[in-house]
Structures are given as C-alpha cells and as structure tokens.
Amino acid sequence: MDLKRNQYSPSTSLETGCVHSLSRCWAYQDRFGKSAGPIHEPGYSQEVSKKNDYAWHRLRRTTKPFQDPLVYADGYQRWQILLTLWVCGLIELYFADETGLTMQPYVPYGWQKKGQRLGLPARIATKRINLLGLLRLDNQLTIYHSEKALTGAFVVDCLADFVAKAHAKPVVIVLDNGPIHRCQAVYGQQTSWEEKDVYLFFLPAYSPHLNPIELVWKSVKYRWLKKVDYKSWRHLKKAIFAIIRNFGQDYKIDFSELTSRNIIKPNSA
C-alpha cells in the first residue's frame, strides 16, 4: 500500500483512520519543520507538546489486548456460577496453580531511614522448589512440591493423587490456560476423572484475577517469607514448608469480600 502524501484513497474504516493519523503527522511537519520528529522524541517542540496536553514520560512495554471480551464474559459468568454453587454447599471448588521459589529473594517494600537504603544480596538461583497448590476459599490448601522442572506428567500425578482422595461432593478444579494444564497428558485423564465426579474448568485467557491462589503465592513471597529465611537453601525450604503446614491457622487470607462480590444473588424483587 503506497501511502504517499495526498495520493491514497482509503477503502476501509481502518485505512481511513491510518490515513487520518498520517495526515496529522504531515501537518505537524509542515508547520514546525521536518526536523521536529515524532512527538515521543526529545527534539519535538516542548511548547507544542504542552499545548496539546502531552507530558514527557518514559514509554513502557505493554501486552497486546488478546482477550476476547465475549469469551471473557462467558467464562466469568460460568466462574460466578461455580463460586455460587460452592457458597451454597453443592460442590467442592478448588483453584489450582503453580509457582516457584529460589534463593533469590523477592524484593519487598519496607520502612527505611531517610538517606539509607537496605539491600538484599543478589544470588545466582541454582536451586528451585516448585509448588502446585489447590486452594479452597475457606483456607484449605493442598500442596505438591518438586525440585525438578514442572511438566504435564507432574501435573497429572498431582491431580490424580488429589482425585483419589475422599470427596463428599462433586469437585471442580479451576485452572488457567498454561501449557502444562492444556497438554495431552492432562486431557487424556479428564474422562476418567469426570467418571469420579471431578471436573476441570479452564479460565478465560489472561484472567489471573479469577484465580485466588495467586494471592497465596504473592503472600508467601512478599509477606510471609522473611529476609532471614534466605540464609541458606535449607532455611528457605524449612520456612516454605512451615507456611504450608500452618496455612489456614497462622497464615490466612480473607476471601469473604471476593465471594460476596462475585456470587450470583437472587433478585430482590
């Protein structure tokens, strides 16, 4: 497509928008000179920028809006239904996900004296412990761990062990769309799990806010693990397992607002 100045006739609304934007750029160049450059370059007139309500900020990389709004709306509604069924006591609902921890501390916020900056030593992360968790919103947490790389086979083994446990009601396990959740090893077990009244529900793409176990991982890394826990690999593993063992007692997260805000409520009429 030849977009020479004033020599192109757009045939679609998208092309019309592109040509309109280009026309504005050409108009700026005609008015302020060829050397002005794009508005995100320092040579562009500050006076013109300020008059047009621009401010000088660092540009940031962003992800593309891959999420389909219709697919998300449908998935969110189904998620609400599952949450409502759990609140009503009709199903067991678990939110599953993985995370990994190394000897590289997660840098937290903290009170520091003015003029002083506390530092955490940088380390080469040669060891890693991976956790697969299944969270119920009444602070019941089941954890599987491995120091090897996470694979679909590991996920299947963990879920198979979880399915084999006693469950008084139908079970729904909520997962994101990670490759190890969508692999053939997992798909191959779905039919046999469904025969045992255990079902997988996959969240809409790019919806980590619909998986509350993410709050558990964030709390582990930024709140509950302390600086002293990173003295050695042995100390770190001991602290991690202590948190897991005491989750629901010494370590809790209040999910009541999340449930009350998202469950489907009957019409008051």
Domains of the chain as residue ranges with CATH: 13-51 (no CATH), 69-108+124-262 (3.30.420.10)
Distance CA 189, CA 159 (A): 10
Q: Using one digit for the tens of pLDDT, what is the confidence trace for 35-94?
A: 444 444 445 556 666 667 777 766 666 555 667 899 999 999 999 999 999 999 999 999
- Predicted structure pTM score: 0.73
User: What pLDDT does residue 32 have?
Assistant: 43
Query: 139 with 252: CB under 8 angstroms?
Result: yes
Q: Specify the amino acid at residue 227.
A: K
Indicate the helix (H) or strand (E) that contains 173.
strand 171-175
Give CA angle at 149 (237, 178), nearest 5°: 110
Give CA angle at 106 (108, 216), nearest 5°: 90
Strand partners, 95: 135, 174
User: What pLDDT does residue 116 have?
Assistant: 78
Distance CA 54, CA 186 (A): 50
